[in-house]
């Protein structure tokens, strides 16, 4: 009896410590393939904040890939990104929050890393319930520890560039969005287990038109 219990304990410990169990769930995104649908002038003309996300169709991996690349993906051999970044500190991190959980966009590898099994769209929506209906909510955070001074200003401005990239990319990709500061900061900080110096700045519910 004792040896059965011991074997069960060994099995549980082995399973908990095995690399399979410890590996972070990862989604490899298809290479960005940005469509030439609208000119920059047309995208600027058509960009509007939209708040009806009643179309529940999930974003395809290709559309998500294009959107995240446009937001802050790698756009040069030296590792520069699509958005300007104060002192090129590349402090902005974009989280993809949807029904199946939350993912951190790793721009350097163009992959999504799962960081939570929870659906965080409700704390993102907070009092604006329309946002929780969107199939995807993007969350823009800044790692303020990358700056020695004026960190909040630098991080907030950097987030604004990424947000505008998202707004314009949505037009080009046939999506709708609205940049929002409304969100339950404390709940999201805790759910994503973020370091103290990470500031959640903006979010974007995103859905098909």
Ligand X SMILES: Cc1cc2nc3c(=O)[nH]c(=O)nc-3n(C[C@H](O)[C@H](O)[C@H](O)COP(=O)(O)O)c2cc1C
**Residue ranges that bind ligand X, judged by CB under 6 A:** 48-49, 51, 128, 178-182
Min. distance of Cβ 107 from ligand X in angstroms?
A: 22
Measured from the CB atom, is 89 or 180 closer to ligand X?
A: 180
Min. distance of Cβ 24 from ligand X in angstroms?
A: 31
Measured from the CB atom, is 63 or 183 closer to ligand X?
A: 183
Min. distance of Cβ 203 from ligand X in angstroms?
A: 8
What residues does 142 pair with on adjacent strands?
92, 199
Do residues 194 and 143 lie in contact, with contact meaning Cβ atoms separated by under 8 Å?
A: no
Min. distance of Cβ 201 from ligand X in angstroms?
A: 8
Measured from the CB atom, is 93 or 167 closer to ligand X?
A: 167
Measured from the CB atom, is 123 or 179 closer to ligand X?
A: 179
Return the residue matching tokens 């169990």.
21
């Amino acid at each position: 009896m004792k040896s059965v219990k011991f074997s069960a304990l060994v099995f549980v410990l082995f399973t908990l410590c095995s690399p399979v169990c410890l590996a972070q769930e990862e989604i490899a995104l298809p290479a960005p393939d940005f469509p030439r649908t609208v000119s920059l002038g047309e995208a600027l003309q058509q960009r509007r904040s939209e708040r009806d996300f009643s179309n529940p169709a999930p974003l395809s991996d290709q559309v998500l890939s294009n959107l995240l690349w446009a937001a802050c993906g790698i756009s040069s051999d030296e590792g520069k990104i699509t958005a300007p970044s104060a002192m090129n500190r590349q402090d902005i991190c974009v989280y993809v929050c949807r029904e199946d959980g939350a993912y951190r966009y790793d721009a350097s590898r163009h992959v999504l890393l799962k960081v939570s099994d929870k659906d965080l769209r409700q704390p993102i929506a907070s009092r604006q319930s329309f946002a929780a209906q969107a199939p995807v909510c993007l969350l823009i955070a800044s790692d303020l520890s990358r700056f020695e001074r004026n960190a909040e200003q630098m991080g907030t401005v950097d987030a604004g560039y990424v947000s505008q990239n998202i707004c314009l990319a949505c037009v080009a990709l046939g999506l709708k969005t609205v940049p929002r500061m409304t969100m339950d900061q404390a709940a999201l900080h805790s759910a994503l287990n973020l370091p103290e110096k990470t500031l959640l700045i903006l979010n974007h519910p995103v859905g098909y038109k």
